[in-house]
Structure 1
Amino acid sequence: MIDKLDSALRFHQEALSLRARRQEVLSSNVANADTPNFKARDFDFGSKLTEAVERGRQSLSMSMSTTSSRHLSGEAHAAGESDLMYRTPNQSSLDGNTVEMDVERVNFADNAMRYEANLTILSSKIKSLLSAVQ
């Protein structure tokens, strides 16, 4: 039963995790808009979500050792910087900074809206599962 519940919610879990990570990357770009030679970074959300769902996060998870069978198992997931790509600017700047504030604002707002949509969908899915249980 738990496996079925986990598989039903895995996609939304991965999507929210990746959206939050992308929001951090985009906010880092905005924060460094005036930093000389800073290179704007981003990642392809669609391909990362597909990889994460297929992989099931098993290869990147690390579990804690327990001293008793009654302990809860804890997991830590690695979030590497290796999958971040540099963004190619439309206009070059004199100081070498590749952050374009208009592009960053659009991507930030779009990602925030999609994060909220994922939360709404997940909430309705949980409510329907709860009503099915009751």
Structure 2
Amino acid sequence: MGLHEQALRVRSYRMELLASNLANADTPNYKARDVDFRDILRSYHQQQPNANTLGLATSRSGHIGSHSLGGIAITPQYRVPSQPSIDGNTVTAHEEKAKLAENNLRYQATIDFLNGKIRKLKQALKGQ
């Protein structure tokens, strides 16, 4: 499945980060985290241009900061707030919701594309 499988895995991880940001919108001193989807895939393909598979792995269960993509560490970056808050929290709820909605749409589009590929492969195997 190649690129689309990779995209799905990175988008899934990004969804976790964005949901965590939104859940901590009222937590004092919480710093919003995110990953740059394009930079991650670009780095992966520069190091492994012919690879078709990848894995997101953690060194420990529940250790979010140690994800990797085919040997390239996926390190969430702390987001610089567009508007500073008094309590030190860098989450802006409406921005997080917008980013989460966009990521969800792109995730679903990738799922739909992969489902189409699988459907075509099944048809080819059946000789249709």
| SS in structure 2 of the partner of residue 96 of structure 1 | coil
TM-score by length of 2: 0.77
| SS in structure 2 of the partner of residue 77 of structure 1 | coil
Can you list the C-alpha shifts for 1:28-66, whole angstroms capped at 9, x where unaligned? Answer: 1001111111110101001112333453488x86xxxxx
Between the two proteins, the alignment pairs up a number of residues equal to 111
Q: Partners in 1 of 2:121 and 2:19 — Cα distance? A: 35
The answer on whether the counterparts of 2:21 and 2:33 sit within 8 Å (CA) in structure 1 is yes
1:104–1:77 Cα change, 3 Å: same
1:77 maps to 2:94: no
Please show how residues 6-25 of structure 1 align to structure 2 within 5 Å: 9-25=1-17
Q: Which one-letter code corresponds to 2:29 in the other structure?
A: N
Alignment match, 1:51: 43
Q: Which one-letter code corresponds to 2:110 in the other structure?
A: N
Once the two structures are aligned, what percentage of the paired residues are identical? 41
CA-atom RMSD, angstroms?
Answer: 2.3
Q: Partners in 1 of 2:96 and 2:3 — Cα distance? A: 26
1:28–1:57 Cα change, 3 Å: farther
Please show how residues 67-106 of structure 1 align to structure 2 within 5 Å: 77-78=57-58, 79=67, 83-106=75-98
| SS in structure 2 of the partner of residue 13 of structure 1 | helix
The answer on whether the counterparts of 1:10 and 1:53 sit within 8 Å (CA) in structure 2 is no
Please show how residues 105-124 of structure 1 align to structure 2 within 5 Å: 105-124=97-116
The answer on whether the counterparts of 1:16 and 1:118 sit within 8 Å (CA) in structure 2 is yes
Q: Partners in 2 of 1:97 and 1:82 — Cα distance? A: 23
Structure 2 unpaired stretches of 5+: 59-66
More displaced stretch, 117-126 vs 81-90: 81-90
1:87–1:98 Cα change, 3 Å: same
